[in-house]
Amino acid sequence: MKKFLIFISIIILVVLVIILGINFYVIFKYDKKIISEKEAYKLKDADCILILGAGIKNGGPSDMLRDRLIVGSKIYQNSNIKKIIVSGDHSKDNYDEVRVMKNYLINKLDVSSDDIYKDHYGIATYDSIYRAKEVYSCQKMIIVTQKYHLYRSLYLADKIGIDAYGVSASLEPYRGQLWREIREVLARDKDFVKGLILPKPKFKIEALPASATGDDTNQR
């Protein structure tokens, strides 16, 4: 029994070392790709701003999503990047995250409708970034999300073949953030594996024509 307990303890320790090792690798390697909002204004050759979804609350964006939209709109207004991709979950008829995102950008933040491209099938970070390249033809982009979420987003972009920089939308403390930080450790490990095998997203890939405008993506 003693030998068995020692063996189990060693296995648990090895698993923890792997989990935490991957986590810290992703953080340390991609921290340098996180830039300030003002630095993002100067990225002359970036072709899009990707705003990742973060849920709906009372018919509008959640607090975290609102802050992502605010930061993304500021980059849009102060740079020469005039293509915003709002990527969220609209895989079901009764839940349309990207409609809420686009409407908020238009009505609250003075962004042109034609410059906002909806990715209706951004059901996970991996899917959002994969589709940014394969559907929306992004080669160099700025990813906008909260800082804790940027590390694996930038890792995935690198593995998918996008030159990406991250801008933090952490504008305030958020309720439940400690739990998100803990959960993110496992999410980084999961997406680390996805970055190695590059599976196809759940929903089909069909590239938009170069002539498409944001309003051409309003429908699924």
**What are the backbone dihedrals phi and psi of residue 191, each rounded to the nearest 5 degrees, phi first?**
-75, -25
Task: Give the count of domains, the chain.
Answer: 1
CA nearest neighbour of 39 among 140, 162, 166: 166
> Which element (helix H / strand E) includes 199?
none
d(CA 48, CA 143): 9
| pLDDT value at residue 5 | 83
Q: By percentage, how much of the chain surpasses pLDDT 70?
A: 100
Domain of residue 198: give its range: 2-217
Q: Is 181 exposed, middle or buried (0-12, 13-18, 19+ CB in 10 A)?
A: exposed
pLDDT at residue 1 is higher than 90: no
> Which element (helix H / strand E) includes 191?
helix 177-197
> Does the reported pTM lie above 0.85?
yes
Q: Would you state the structure tokens that stand for residue 200, as one six-digit string?
A: 């196809």
Give the SS3 label for residue 103.
helix
| pLDDT value at residue 4 | 78
d(CA 29, CA 151): 8
d(CA 34, CA 150): 8
| pLDDT value at residue 210 | 87
- Tens digit of pLDDT for each residue in 26-43? 999 999 999 999 999 999
| pLDDT value at residue 188 | 98
| pLDDT value at residue 153 | 98
CATH at residue 169: 3.40.50.620
| pLDDT value at residue 218 | 95
What is the average pLDDT across 6-19?
90
- Tens digit of pLDDT for each residue in 156-199? 999 999 999 999 999 999 999 999 999 999 999 999 999 999 99
Q: Hey, what long-range contacts does 11-17 have (CB within 8 A, 24 or more apart)?
A: none
- Residue 58 binned pLDDT confidence (cut-offs 50, 70, 90): very high
Contact between residue 114 and residue 102 where contact means Cβ atoms under 8 Å apart: no
